[in-house]
Amino acid sequence: MDTSLQTFDISIFRYVPELLAWAVGIVLAVIMVQRGGTRLEKLLLAGCSLMFIAPLSGLLVNGWLTRARIEQGISYIEMMQSPLWIVFSIIIALLSLAGLVCLVWAFLAKFRAKKPEAV
């Protein structure tokens, strides 16, 4: 096994805590939506889902491009400069940004929706 593939296999474990945390967030958001959740809970579910998909897709794309790089015999720097890598990196960054915006919007709207207590 090539050392770059071994490095890729080891790097999978780096994402496990993050993926587990977002999976728990997805489960909790699904429970809230099933119990008659509002638009904000659905936004929370969308944000958690996007934040789960972004590192997972990054990991899969990285593995796919690493294997393609080894088969074609190109260097890692050449792979990083390829237009395909740049497009995938931008898409993954946009997924993360969209998930973050959904989460922030859901939390801010939830806290703003609280009505002040009558005195």
Q: Would you say residue 118 lies in a domain?
A: no
User: For residue 30, is pLDDT > 80?
Assistant: yes
Q: Would you say residue 52 lies in a domain?
A: yes
Count CB neighbours of 48 within 10 A.
24
Q: Would you say residue 75 lies in a domain?
A: yes
Range of the domain at 45: 3-111
The token pair that represents 52 in the structure block: 């789960």
Q: Would you say residue 116 lies in a domain?
A: no
What average pLDDT score do residues 72-90 get?
A: 83
What is the number of structural domains in the chain? 1
Query: pLDDT tens across 32-73, in order?
Result: 999 988 888 999 999 999 999 998 888 888 878 878 778 888
Count CB neighbours of 49 within 10 A.
19
Tell me what pLDDT residue 8 has: 55
Q: Would you say residue 60 lies in a domain?
A: yes
Helix (H) or strand (E) holding 98: helix 83-112
pTM: 0.76
With CA atoms as reference, report the closest residue to 74 among 62, 65, 86.
65
Q: How confident is the model at residue 1 (pLDDT cuts 50, 70, 90)?
A: very low
Tell me what pLDDT residue 111 has: 84
